Amino acid sequence: MSGTNECKAFLVLENGDVFQGNYFGAHGEVTGEIVFTTGMTGYLETLTDPSYHGQIVLQTFPLIGNYGVISDDFESADIGLKAYIVKYPCASPSNFRSETTLDSFLKKRGIIGLCGIDTRALTKIIRKNGVMNGKITSSPPADADSEEIKKYTVINPIAAVSQKDSVNADTGSAKYRIALMDFGAKRGIANELCRRGCDVRTFPYNAPAAEIMQIKPDGIMLSNGPGDPADPENKVILKTLDALVKTGIPIFGICMGHQLLALANGYKTRKLKFGHRGANQPVKDTQTGQVYITSQNHGYEVISENINMSSYSFVNVNDGSCEGLDYGISFSVQFHPEARGGPLDTGFLFDRFIERIEKYAAR
C-alpha cells in the first residue's frame, strides 16, 4: 500500500522517544517542530500552506494520498512544511483530476516523508507533552542527537514566506480595493475577495503603512502565517498595524492576522500545548450560540482572560480558547473561513467584511 522501497528511517523526538519506519518522498535528514493535523482530507492544502513553515507535519488520519496530487488545489506555489509523516501513503490514487502520486510529488519537491510508524502513539505523546522538536534520520539515533534537536528553532518565519513585492489581482470590474498584508497568505483568501468583486493588492509583511495607504484601500486584509505572533521580529508589522488601525479603515484578520491585530490592540498571546490543526474544529458564535465547523492551523492563541467580553465573537468549543474578536468596524477570526470548513459554514465572514467596507464608505 505504501508504495515505498522500504528504506529504513528513524524519527527521534527531543524527549528521547524513537520511532522506526520507512522513507517515502525524498530521503535524507531533517529537524523541525512536530505538529499533528486531524483532517481526513485536505492534505494538498496542508502541504502547500505557508503557515507550516519550519514544521514536521503528522497526519492523524492513517491513509493519505488517495485522491492524488492536484495542483489546482494548492494554497501556494511552495511547500510550507519541512517533512511529512503519515501511516500509509497511497500509491494508487483514484481521481480523474490526479496528476501524480504523493510519493512522486514529495520526491520532486525534495520533501522528506516518513511512513509506517505508529502515528496514533506519536499523536498521544504530543497531546500529553505538547508539541516538540524531532529529527528524521536514516541512522540509528545517537546520544548527541538530543541536544541538536532541542536547539532547533525557526528564525523569522514570516519574512521567509512573505512575498517580496506588491502584487495586484485586479478583477477588472471591482467596486472595492483591498490591501492584503502577506504574512504567508493562502491563495484562498484573495480568491474569496476576488469572487466578491474586489481588487486585491498584496503587500509584503514589512510594507510600511504609508505605502499601503498610497493605493487608498477600502479595506485591509491580514493573512495567516507561521510562527509566534509575539516574536520580536514582528515589531515592524505591529508598528504598521498600529498606524492602519488609527485610519479607521475596516480590517479583517485571519489566523496570524487575528493574533497580530490583537497584539496591536493591546491584547496578549501565548503558545497552545499542541495547537489546533485540522478541518473539523468546532467554534461557537458567542452572540447567537451557533456552532460552526472550521478549518484551523495555529499553535498560538489570544489570551482570553484579558479580553473585553463585548468584543469576544467566537469561542473554541473544545478548549474555550478565543476564536474571534470584533472591534466594531474591524474584526478577526482564528480559523480559516476561506478553507471551506463545513464546507461553507463561515464563508459569510467575507460578506461581513464587504458590508463593513460599505458602511465605512457611506460615512
Respond yes or no: is residue 298 known to be catalytic: no
Angle formed by the axes of helices 256-264 and 235-247, nearest 10°: 70
Contacts of 152 (CB under 8 A, 6+ apart): 31, 32, 33, 133
CA distance 115 to 125: 17
| Nearest residue to 219 (alpha-carbon basis) of 257, 177, 173, 187 | 177
Instruction: With beta carbons less than 8 A apart as the criterion, state whether 256 and 228 touch.
Output: no
Options 45, 75, 323, 338, the catalytic residue: 338
Burial zone of 200 (CB within 10 Å; 0-12 exposed, 13-18 middle, 19+ buried): buried
Burial zone of 194 (CB within 10 Å; 0-12 exposed, 13-18 middle, 19+ buried): middle
Kindly state the cell numbers that stand for 193.
Answer: 475577495
Instruction: With beta carbons less than 8 A apart as the criterion, state whether 222 and 257 touch.
Output: yes
Options 53, 276, 298, 336, the catalytic residue: 336
Kindly state the cell numbers that stand for 67.
Answer: 485522491
Answer whether the bond into residue 343 is a cis peptide, omega within 30°: yes
Respond yes or no: is residue 336 known to be catalytic: yes
Instruction: With beta carbons less than 8 A apart as the criterion, state whether 117 and 107 touch.
Output: no
Options 33, 255, 258, 323, the catalytic residue: 255
Respond yes or no: is residue 198 known to be catalytic: no
Residues catalogued as catalytic: 255, 336, 338
